[in-house]
Amino acid sequence: MSVLHSHENDIVWLAGSSRRFGLLHHLADTIRGGFAGAESWLAERSRRRRVRAQSTVAERLRQRRLLARLSDRDLKDIGVSRYDVEVELRKPFWR
């Protein structure tokens, strides 16, 4: 359970995550100072999410290429069949 308590310009956030605190703190600053800058903050946050998603996709593709290059003996050592590899390679890049 999270508790938000506000005293004039101070905000106290109890039993919440630091991420929530950061978002809430920014929201409170935005409300106090008007909405100037909120649009640029949201655009930057969106940009960071896109970059993170792109790096995740790139990492998945890299790992799948490495998996495809393993020999049958290497796959047996890690307990993965060639069929499992084929199933993984056929997945779309976003999964």
The residue extents of the domains of the chain are 1-34, 37-95
Give the model's pLDDT for residue 82. Answer: 92
* Residue 85 backbone dihedrals phi, psi, to 5 degrees: -65, -45
Give the model's pLDDT for residue 13. Answer: 45
For 3-18, what is the mean pLDDT?
48
Give the model's pLDDT for residue 34. Answer: 62
Residue 5 in this model has a pLDDT that exceeds 80: no
Please state, in angstroms and rounded to a whole number, the distance separating the CA atoms of residues 47 and 39.
12
Give the model's pLDDT for residue 44. Answer: 85
pLDDT, tens digit, 9 for 90 and up, residues 11-63: 444 445 555 567 777 777 767 666 667 777 778 888 899 999 889 999 999 99
Backbone dihedral region for residue 37 (phi beyond 0: left; psi -120 to 50: alpha; all else: beta): left
